Amino acid sequence: MTIMELQTLTYLVVGFTFALYIGIAIWARAGSTKEFYVAGGGVNPVANGMATAADWMSAASFISMAGLIAFMGYGGSVFLMGWTGGFVVLALLLAPYLRKYGKFTVPEFIGDRFYSRTARIVAVVCLIICSVTYVIGQMKGIGVAFSRFLEVSYDVGLLVGMCIVFFYAVLGGMKGITYTQIAQYCVLILAYTIPAIFISLNLTGNPFPQLGFGSTLAGSDVYLLDKLDQVVTELGFAEYTTQERLSTTNMFAYTLSLMIGTAGLPHVIIRFFTVPKVRDARTSAGWALVFIAILYTTAPAVAGMARLNLMNTIEPVKGQHLVYEERPQWFKNWEKTGLLKFEDKNNDGRIQYTSDKTTNEMVKVDRDIMVLANPEIAKLPNWVIALVAAGGLAAALSTAAGLLLAISSAISHDLLKGVLMPHIDEKQELRASRIAMAVAIAGAGYLGFNPPDFAAGTVALAFGLAASSIFPALMMGIFSSRINKEGAIAGMVAGITVTLLYVFQHKGIMFVASTSFLGDMSPNWFLGIEPNAFGAVGAVVNFAVAFVVSRVTQEPPEEVQELVKHIRVPVGAAEAHDH
């Protein structure tokens, strides 16, 4: 097949998936605020688990995570542990209780539980800060995937992505988004696992990447990981299987920040308001974990195999560097995007790739290209390459839609209906929701076109902000009847403020923190904790301030304390006790 045919095939595959998403949005058009906010509250738990997995597995999971692990080695396990562990926390400690309370949004729960409109407004502000920070990363993912595979500029790619999201999110609300995300999950999981199976078969003869990763190479008694360690160390890089990221304290803080940040992300939490019963919330969280595990157990194998393929392409035999003029087609394709750059420092016409910055001629290998370029590097069929493009876009679009819905519902339901204009009817609220969604998409698009200078670490930063502001408020709201409105407000403000100040104080080194895998550490970091991991410290500040302020101020009213006890009593327990 020629390159032109590959591009045509990519257009066809991506075009088909977009037509599917738009068709679903028209079929599942929201006709009421309940359908717009929580899809009518009648989504099957297995379907909701699949939609939650798509909502959760963003461009960061699909495009960036394997790229991070490919260059960080063992240290990249922080993302696997943090992101999957967070779902366990969410399933056990938050989802069932919030579903039992039965409101539309996270700020609505915080406003009611802490009997304060101020608390609700603070929660809205925290939610918008977290969601907007996160959505910048998704917009970048949309732009990168489009610019490479549809061979348009980054700006055009981002504009097309915005239009698609605008159509199905504004029209369908949560109802449209839910069924679209089920389709997007199917697309992204096929796009991730099919190339992984092909590459695992090529390298090890094992069709299961998870098993192939720990197997010997095909026709050899050398283990894949031993070969990878040998290849990277020969070029001067750190051994893949023993490489740690900074200090143990930093690893712990980073994992904890990602974990509780996951459990505090509003766009994921609102998914559990869409199921019919409390038990379904826990069941759908379990299913979401299963659907996520398919990708997350595959990611380390994809990362390791992509790194080995990359190294073997550039230096097929030790000491024999690839002649630049004979570089493969995938190399030329990615050079056009600017995400891969070669500089002939010794003028020998060969590509020298080492860890020594003075002699390394691969001056830029963007980690985000690893998953997208992997099928091309491994010379897989064109239809697989086209499928990967559709998968990357599905991952970015599904999360962007969930985040934008969380932002628009916070504005229309919590600010307008809840605080500023409580007397508007359902039709007016639905119109306000759609306008808020359109404004949110325009704002997200602007940030995608003009990403702020801390954009490199935005995804991890979003988790840190959710960990330091929303997660503690929800936990204390459910499990402590003594925390009052003064404590909750002070805690949220203190947590998010400390985290933001720390991040912006170090924003000059934030790009290094999020892209370096050599373990550089700023002497000014608190206990050696990098900015992206600081959400864990912000959460501790939030809990501490909330408890101290609550102790020195008045107890919550009796009915609020009863409400807290009621939230934690299993459904049916009270009736059983009465009999």
Question: Which tens digits make up the pLDDT trace of 177-190?
Answer: 788 888 888 888 99
CA distance 307 to 548: 50
CA distance 382 to 4: 11
Sequence letter at residue 474? L
Nearest Cα neighbor of 539 from 483, 479, 491 is 491
Residue 357 in any domain: the answer is no
- CA angle 89/92/94 to nearest 5° reads 80
Give 105's DSSP letter.
S
Residue 144 in any domain: the answer is yes
Q: What confidence category does residue 551 fall into, taking pLDDT thresholds of 50, 70 and 90?
A: very high
CA distance 246 to 243: 9
CA distances from 335 to 56, 267, 331, 340 (A): 31, 36, 6, 5
Residue 365 in any domain: the answer is no
Convert the pLDDT of each residue in 318-351 to its tens digit. 667 778 888 888 888 888 777 788 888 888 888 8
Q: Name the phi and psi angles at 352, rounded to 5.
A: -105, 120
- CA angle 143/149/152 to nearest 5° reads 60
pLDDT score at 315: 72
CA distances from 245 to 78, 81, 110, 234, 250 (A): 9, 14, 36, 21, 8
Number of domains, the chain: 1
Convert the pLDDT of each residue in 263-317 to its tens digit. 888 878 878 877 888 788 888 888 888 898 898 889 899 988 888 888 888 776 6
**Does the pLDDT value for residue 540 go beyond 90?**
yes
Residue 348 in any domain: the answer is no
Q: What confidence category does residue 39 fall into, taking pLDDT thresholds of 50, 70 and 90?
A: low
Alpha helical stretches, state H, 338-425: 370-377, 382-409
Residue 3 in any domain: the answer is no
CA distance 513 to 464: 14
Contact call for residues 101 and 278 (beta carbons, < 8 A): no
Residue 319 in any domain: the answer is no
Residues 146-168 as b/e (b if ≥16 CB within 10 A, e otherwise) read bbbbbbeebeebbbbbbebbbbb
Residue 358 in any domain: the answer is no
Output the domain CATH number for residue 307. 1.20.1730.10
Taking residues 397-412, report their average pLDDT: 79
Domain residues for the domain of 207 are 13-314+371-569
Residue 353 in any domain: the answer is no
pLDDT score at 576: 41
Sequence letter at residue 76? G
pLDDT score at 319: 65
pLDDT score at 425: 78
Give 454's DSSP letter.
T
